Structure 1
Amino acid sequence: MHFIKFTIVALLCAYGGLANAQTASDGDVAPAAAEEAFNPNPIANLSARIGYNTDSGFVGGLGYATERFLGQDADFSMRIEAQEGATRFNVAYSNDTVFGDSPRFGLTLSHSETTAGDVYGFESAATRLQPRLTWDLSERQRLSAYVSLSRNEVGTVDPTNSILIRNDEGQQQRVSLGATYQAALPIEGDGPLRRARFSFGLETGHTSRDHSFTIVTARATLVHAFSDGNIVVGSSVRLGHMATMEGTSNIGDRFVLGSSSLRGFAFGGFGPRDLAVANTPALGGTSYGIGRFDARFPNAFGDDSTLTPGVFLDVGSLWGLDDINGGVAGANPVDDAAYLRSSVGVSLRIDSGIGPFNLFLAMPLEERDYDQTQEFGISFSQSF
């Protein structure tokens, strides 16, 4: 890990030194050129973040960012965040001039650790290094390609836990290639459509535990406004599937969803569970489909009000395992079928002086007896 960090910093420093040496050898810069090269933005920004949501509790973080890393027109940021039972660290670098105007080069390094909690009941750690190239195909279309190198670790699994989790204990290295495509449709005329965006992702890779996989994700989002903007209707659909060509997926690779996807259900609260062991752990799933539909009323309490009420309907499912032989010894099959979940409720956004608060009150309509519901939710985030 330390070797990876040292290598990245050394490479970036070397690149910056070469660029600065080349600039110095060019001699004095003409006043007009100097004016054009002047960057009025601060050399660096220090930031702090506080937040809260009902899935993960209070979150606090510190950040550093600059647009002139090592004297170049390059972006560099570093962020660390902590919450109850989890810490995250992220470093990101991007430079638009490595390959000329296109593509843009980016590099991220992230590390996270979690302690045993209510959802999983084990400790985990994950480190990922991801270089990326991004092409702007047009003003509304973007294509990115990346290589992902990661190491995941699952530890301190209780001997009485599900064998489907105990089998994943230890380290796993993963190498994958991926691409994402994002587009926004042009909005013309005075119709109700205000925003239309969609994205598509494809990733294929292999792990040190002989698991070969391909992951496909897709998302579409629409926003309509009616009655002179007094009614705003948003709708989104998200799909994801991990196809296994060889081996068995790891608990750290499968999808796990919560109230940010399906309001009314806790994080890890729906999807396949091993009901044959005492803690009935969430196992995640290899496939999901989510639909969210909101109607918000920005001027319900007057044009100057800080309150925006709304109503919503969420529907979806999380399903699929490569191995369903659960229980302590692998003798109890897990039900990994696709069962519909849904909820309706009311929402409220409060634009306070210290940041926006988002609240919801949900009533699950379709659920399983073993699901973990969460009828009330609140989220808040503000950076300084």
Structure 2
Amino acid sequence: MDRGGAGQARAWVSASSGALLISTAPIATLAQTYSFSSVRVEGNQRIETGTILAEAGISQGETVTAGQLNDAAQAIRASGLFETVEVVPQGSTLVIRVQELPVISRINFEGNTTLKDEDLAQLIGSVERRIYSPTQAEQDTAAIAQAYVNAGRVNAVVTPAIIPREGGTVDLVFQIAEGGVTEIERISFVGNRAFSDGRLRNVLETRQAGLLRAIIRADTFVAERIDFDRQLLTDFYRSRGYADFTVNDVNANLTNERDAYLITFNVTEGPRFRFGDVTLSSEVPEADPNLFRGLVRVQAGDLYSPVAIENDVSRIEAQALREGINFIRVDPRISRDERGQILNLDYVLVPGERIFVERIDIEGNATTLDRVIRSQFNTVEGDPFNPREIREAAERIRALGYFANADVEAREGASPDQVIVDVNVEEQPTGTLSFGVNYSSENGPALIAAFSEENFLGRGQSLDFQLSTGEDNRLLTFAFEEPRFMGRDLALGLDLSYRQTDNASALYDTDQFRLSPSLGFPISERGRLDVFYAVEYNDITDVAGSDTPNDPTDDASPIIEFEAAQGGQWSNSVGFSYSFDTARNNIDTPTNFSFRAGQEYGFGDRTFIQTTALASAETRVLGEDLLLRATVEGGYLHFSQGESRVTDRFFLGSSRIRGFERGGIGPRDAKTDDALGGNAYAVVRLEAEFPLPVPEEYGVSGGAFLDYGSVWNVGAPDRFQDRILYDDFTPRTVAGLSLFWDTPLGPLRFNFTEPLQVEEQDRTQNFDVTVSTRF
């Protein structure tokens, strides 16, 4: 060995617990060199000597410096296999002493009740029957602590501990002190003038802690949720004309007791803009602007809304594709008139880049089939690349509700004129099995068992089953839908229902069965058409008095007895239902309109036409704190062969006109007081919803309403006409107040009504409540 001259000292290099120590005498020895005729490894039991020597990188006879010995110790330590490492020169022999890290025999969690063992196990990187790593244990500890922060327990303490066992193994135990829930005590806003704090809090996903805070998960602080709330606020303001709205900052501060968060959104609203001149021009020779001007829905004077612009752009680009004009883009160019608070808009057709879609790669879907995700793309491999279409497809994938997270990105493909679309999804549970209780003043209490699956077998199909049994009726329903029948935007549905009622609410029983397959498809941007076939069976049984003709006490109406004598009846029908709704993509807009209308045509022994329609409009005023809604609905049933029965006709109750029991208004038998229903009905409902001066976190709001309507026209044979009351249109009017309570257990609504215009034999109710709870 070359000693390197006088002043030599023994060099000792150690790596223990992540720190390397070099013990030397004079500094000059750092340049000392060594040459070893042999290398000896001590202390290893499971790790092969060759593996350690390979990590050290020192060969027999090689001349090395003290710095290289230090590097060798570092390299061995970096393998993550050893607790301590020592590299010690002993004459012509280099001794490498190691102490191996133990193997994890078992991983346990102690003290956890909020998060389950299986949930925590998915967060950690330590694995049983593998070598214990202190660094990995520290990372696991941080991951578990963050999971508790996300669950609202910022004071949770996680401590890793190792318990030595025989054979060089240890148990790794994460000891958890969960602490209490750190709630969001208050959400406030600075800089808002157009809208109240209460209205803005309703926009957010995050909620203040309320009465039932123990089961409300949105009242805890999660940083990712706050980021989402920033975007929700921005979308809310900009869709109402505030083009310059920004969220300057969000401050989330713990109280001194560290048991609650105080969150403050600092915003700048800016001025409110309206559209001025709206034009369309083209920089593409083959794109005639006249072909596209009719697709523009934005008009001068409308409030500025990026959603409205986006919808126009989508329609124009889609029309360009139908015209065979590829690689065209719509550039919405805005010029501002600050003084007049006007935004002039020019849709300019410009040439797009000639880029094609090479392929679409999908990852993360363990259950959902690839074709379900691909069906949300209007683009396939080889099509021209349209960034807007890819963004819209990403929104459609997220809107499915199958995924906790869905990222869609494009990257360059095999050549500069090709892109690869990457879809990365994180699946979430899509099925529910629930048991619960439902109560309403109209139908009384009922026990409910329900199963629902929105992504059946990963095929994107929905399946719903519900069984309800109450004091007066039993109901079984089954529904199935394939939303992409034959690979098209065509929904194939199958609905089945069976209802049975008893004498608790009437002097007769009924049995009703209906099976209806259907097809549904969009016919416009916001309109949808469904067509269906239905086979139905109904029967009237156990009519009171039919078996005791000499005892008229509590006898049912002769009209019902006449209808029951016809026995069970089957009917076949075809029909359609059209719906239109201005609400799109769950955008929170201040004004919405919806319309539904349909007809059903019966054929065979029972020939009839049934027509129903409903139109509803709602708007928010006074800073959007007050919601006004108006609804008109009606129906008419006409038999050209056969006659309507009590199982066919319309009945009105509190679900359509408040303040009355089911069958509480309309035609009835003057002598038996039986409700007979009617072949026609019409109802107008006017209502308002407004906040109450109570803490918003309680989820309580108020309402007022005015209902007006009637049901009429039994259509019974002439011999029964003298027994029927209110067979003509006889309007009723009720007014009332409502109390809404939005609880995690279900929505509760309390209605307090006062009749203003009723008939003597109507069955009114001054109070009703609807409760729906599932667990």
Determine the structure 2 residue equivalent to 1:315: 708
Determine the structure 1 residue equivalent to 2:507: 121
Determine the structure 1 residue equivalent to 2:736: 345
Tell me: CA distance 1:88–1:198, structure 2 relative to 1, closer, same or farther (3 Å). same
Determine the structure 1 residue equivalent to 2:754: 363
Q: Distance in 2 between matches of 1:236 and 1:244?
A: 27
Determine the structure 1 residue equivalent to 2:655: 260
Determine the structure 2 residue equivalent to 1:140: 526
Q: Distance in 2 between matches of 1:74 and 1:132?
A: 15
Give the letter aligned to residue 135 of structure 1.
F
Q: Distance in 2 between matches of 1:114 and 1:287?
A: 23
Corresponding residue SS for 1:266: coil
Match of 1:198 among 595, 620, 628: 595
Residues 22-63 of structure 1: CA distance to partner in whole angstroms, max 9, x if unpaired?
xxxxxxxx9945656753243743122322110001122111
| TM-superposed deviation, 1:305 | 4.5
Determine the structure 2 residue equivalent to 1:222: 617
Residues 110-130 of structure 1: CA distance to partner in whole angstroms, max 9, x if unpaired?
111111123x31111111110
| TM-superposed deviation, 1:70 | 5.2
Match of 1:274 among 658, 663, 669: 669
Give the letter aligned to residue 358 of structure 1.
R
Q: Distance in 1 between matches of 2:487 and 2:534?
A: 23
Residues 157-207 of structure 1: CA distance to partner in whole angstroms, max 9, x if unpaired?
1223222111222201011111000001369xxxx9521101111111036
Q: Distance in 1 between matches of 2:441 and 2:652?
A: 13
Does the 8 A contact of 2:571 with 2:606 survive in 1? no
| TM-superposed deviation, 1:276 | 2.3
1:334 and 2:729 equivalent? no
Tell me: CA distance 1:36–1:177, structure 2 relative to 1, closer, same or farther (3 Å). same
1:292 and 2:685 equivalent? yes
Give the letter aligned to residue 133 of structure 1.
L
Tell me: CA distance 1:372–1:230, structure 2 relative to 1, closer, same or farther (3 Å). same
Match of 1:150 among 531, 536, 559: 536
Determine the structure 2 residue equivalent to 1:100: 487
Give the letter aligned to residue 749 of structure 2.
N
Determine the structure 2 residue equivalent to 1:79: 466
Give the letter aligned to residue 582 of structure 2.
L
Determine the structure 1 residue equivalent to 2:745: 354
Q: Distance in 2 between matches of 1:172 and 1:227?
A: 54
| TM-superposed deviation, 1:333 | 3.8
Unaligned runs of 5+ in 1: 1-29
Does the 8 A contact of 1:300 with 1:309 survive in 2? no
Corresponding residue SS for 1:332: helix
Tell me: CA distance 1:145–1:176, structure 2 relative to 1, closer, same or farther (3 Å). same
Residues 130-149 of structure 1: CA distance to partner in whole angstroms, max 9, x if unpaired?
00100022341111000010
1:45 and 2:438 equivalent? no
TM-score by length of 1: 0.83
Does the 8 A contact of 2:508 with 2:556 survive in 1? no
Does the 8 A contact of 2:745 with 2:774 survive in 1? no
Q: Distance in 1 between matches of 2:443 and 2:721?
A: 33
Give the letter aligned to residue 355 of structure 1.
G
Determine the structure 1 residue equivalent to 2:606: 211
| TM-superposed deviation, 1:246 | 2.1
Does the 8 A contact of 2:367 with 2:458 survive in 1? no
Tell me: CA distance 1:285–1:197, structure 2 relative to 1, closer, same or farther (3 Å). same
Q: Distance in 2 between matches of 1:193 and 1:351?
A: 21
Give the aligned CA root-mean-square deviation in angstroms.
2.3
Determine the structure 1 residue equivalent to 2:641: 246
Tell me: CA distance 1:43–1:289, structure 2 relative to 1, closer, same or farther (3 Å). closer
1:301 and 2:694 equivalent? yes
Determine the structure 1 residue equivalent to 2:155: none
Give the letter aligned to residue 132 of structure 1.
S
Determine the structure 2 residue equivalent to 1:375: 766
| TM-superposed deviation, 1:383 | 3.0
| TM-superposed deviation, 1:244 | 1.9
Does the 8 A contact of 1:324 with 1:333 survive in 2? no
Residues 340-366 of structure 1: CA distance to partner in whole angstroms, max 9, x if unpaired?
100011111122342221101111111
| TM-superposed deviation, 1:102 | 2.6
Corresponding residue SS for 2:486: strand
Tell me: CA distance 1:69–1:306, structure 2 relative to 1, closer, same or farther (3 Å). closer
Does the 8 A contact of 2:514 with 2:534 survive in 1? yes
1:172 and 2:569 equivalent? yes
Corresponding residue SS for 1:265: coil
Tell me: CA distance 1:74–1:230, structure 2 relative to 1, closer, same or farther (3 Å). closer
Does the 8 A contact of 2:500 with 2:510 survive in 1? yes
| TM-superposed deviation, 1:265 | 1.1
Unaligned runs of 5+ in 2: 1-358, 369-426, 547-554
Does the 8 A contact of 1:193 with 1:222 survive in 2? no
More RCO (CA 8 Å, sep 6+): 1
Aligned-residue sequence identity (percent) comes to 28
| TM-superposed deviation, 1:90 | 1.0
Give the letter aligned to residue 59 of structure 1.
A
Q: Distance in 1 between matches of 2:620 and 2:721?
A: 54
Q: Which has the higher strand share?
A: 1
Give the letter aligned to residue 245 of structure 1.
S
Give the letter aligned to residue 127 of structure 1.
F
| TM-superposed deviation, 1:69 | 3.6
Q: Which moved more, 1:339-348 or 1:354-363?
A: 354-363
Give the letter aligned to residue 710 of structure 2.
S
Match of 2:499 among 112, 124, 130: 112
Q: Distance in 1 between matches of 2:570 and 2:642?
A: 14
